Amino acid sequence: MALFKITHENRAVYGGEKFARNVRCEYEYSKAQIAAMLPEMTHKFRCRDDDGVTYFWGVCSDPNSFAPLDCVGADYGCTEIQYKNPTTGRYETL
């Protein structure tokens, strides 16, 4: 059960297309439940394709969730999700 939000997209890949900046989730939550979970969205992620091109970046409530990749990334050919390690500052493949 993870919430995520896309914060940036790779304009070189999408041209003029912009992602909606709304919160997305694996399950349906009430507005109150989503509001309560928003502070947990601190885990930075990025989704990439087989060539290592990053398609979009965002934040997620669960650093072990494939939700961003499954819900959005697969539609754009992304095959990998990476989360930023808070200790090293490097993205690591999940």
Question: How many CB atoms sit inside 10 A of residue 72's CB?
Answer: 20
User: Is the per-residue pLDDT at 25 higher than 80?
Assistant: no
pLDDT score of 76:
80
- Total of domains in the chain: 1
Rounded average pLDDT over 11-29: 64
Indicate the pLDDT class of residue 39, thresholds 50, 70 and 90: confident
Q: How far apart are CA 64 and CA 2, in angstroms?
A: 9
Q: How far apart are CA 27 and CA 29, in angstroms?
A: 6
- The whole model's pTM is what? 0.80
Q: How does pLDDT run across 53-68, given as a tens digit for each residue?
A: 998 899 998 999 998 8
Nearest to 79 by CA among 51, 49, 55, 53: 49
Q: Locate 7 and state its tokens.
A: 């914060």
Write out the residue range of the structural domain in which residue 19 sits: 3-93
- Residue-averaged pLDDT of the chain: 83
